[in-house]
Amino acid sequence: MKHLVVALALFAAPAVADSPCCATGDLGLVVERATGSVLLIDRSERSALARIEGLGDLSHASLTYSPDERFAYVFGRDGGLTKVDLLERLVVGRTIQAGNSIGGAISDDGELVAVSNYSPGGVKVFDAETLELVADIPAAGKTIGLADLPGRRFIWAVWDTGHAYLGDFSGEGPVITDLGHIGTNPFDAVVTDDAHTYLIGLFGEKGVTAIDLWDKEPKPVRFLKDYGKKEEDMPVYKMPHLQGWAFTEGQFVLPAVGQHELLWVDRETLEEKGRTAMHGQPVFIIAQPASPYVWVNFATPRNGVVQVVDSRTHEVVKTLEPGKAVLHMEFAPRGAEVWVSVRDDNKVLVYDTRSFEKKGEIEAQAPSGIFFTARAHQPGL
């Protein structure tokens, strides 16, 4: 029987070994920015399940999920687009599709993945299953603020020319609409959670541009006309991260540029409603689900702190010191916890959002972005 047992061990072992965890609803990925890897985490267990390597330069990276939550599409600074299988815990596809890239998005139906490139400038669109190139839309400069819109569409803007574009990929071939000049040197943009408005931050002049996406003919409108840099030569690292703008009931909240302040804006009138003095230059402002609060982290060198602000009073209600270099925060989808990446402590910390008690910590190598699979179900993420 010995050779039979051995043969069974050879053939059967992979099948009877511990199956990879199957339900995907409470999984997540943490970008490990120094080692080109992502850490697969289980949110319910508050633990790491696996490290997946070979994702190239992730010093600036983001990712998006397929509708079934099985796959992550990771967009790396080096122009890499990597498809990761969360169940097999492997890289299952990878293409270096540009020289320098800053982000991407997946269409609402999960069929197409678009990537936003600096070099060469433009947007490339790939089949989400095979990573085959399906469209190449060159731009006269660096593309920024790429986001998905309902109906297999994408929107983006171009730093060098100040134009915004809407790409409709729902028909036979792409239909690209120029939405016009939106301002000088748009540096980032974001779509509101209801896909109503595209908000574009400007580096080259004051103000913010809004485009009403529900209009039959969307047009750029300038608001917050005083918002912006005070000096010509502001260092790039002080530019606020628009992905970090929070949308709370009735208000937007955004970082005041080059100041240690939050700016609260009425969603309907686009007028300023108030300001909050903060610990440092805000980088990410993230709304805690099912609550009136937003949580804020800060730019170096004051980046050891996180503050919590009440959107009703515009006041700071809590200041936490998670550790050295807080790069990102991600909430449990229903708001009970917040996960905080602390790069220089090589940890992700988990806090209870009501008691502020630390509930767990996970070892990670220079962690930056944290992304839970629930993002698969949110427009614009």
**CB of 352: closest distance to its own copies in angstroms?**
9
Residue 231 vs 268, nearer CB to its own copies: 268
The partner residues of 308 in beta bridges, in order of sequence, read 295, 318
Residue 110 vs 120, nearer CB to its own copies: 110
Residue 349 φ/ψ, nearest 5 degrees? -105, 145
The set of residues, in sequence order, having a beta carbon less than 8 Å from that of 17 and lying 6+ positions away, is none
**CB of 372: closest distance to its own copies in angstroms?**
8
Contacting positions for its own copies (CB under 8 A):
3-4, 7-8, 11-12, 15-16, 20, 22-27, 43-44, 65-70, 86-87, 108-110, 149-152, 170, 194-196, 214, 248-250, 267-268, 289-292, 312, 332-336, 353-354, 373-374, 376-380
- Which tokens belong to 188? 């980032």
**CB of 110: closest distance to its own copies in angstroms?**
7
- Whole-angstrom distance, CA of residue 244 vs CA of residue 260: 15
The set of residues, in sequence order, having a beta carbon less than 8 Å from that of 365 and lying 6+ positions away, is 32, 34, 35, 37, 39, 346
**CA Rg value for the chain:** 21
Residue 161 vs 373, nearer CB to its own copies: 373
Of 108, 102, 98, 87, residue with least CA distance to 42: 87
**CB of 171: closest distance to its own copies in angstroms?**
11
Task: Establish whether the linkage from the previous residue to 292 is cis, with ω within 30° of 0.
Answer: no
**CB of 32: closest distance to its own copies in angstroms?**
23
Residue 152 vs 343, nearer CB to its own copies: 152
Residue 46 vs 238, nearer CB to its own copies: 46
233-240: long-range pairs with CB below 8 Å, 24+: 234/258, 237/299, 237/300, 238/281, 238/299, 239/187, 239/188, 239/201, 239/203, 240/188, 240/201, 240/281, 240/282, 240/283
**CB of 378: closest distance to its own copies in angstroms?**
7
Residue 202 vs 332, nearer CB to its own copies: 332
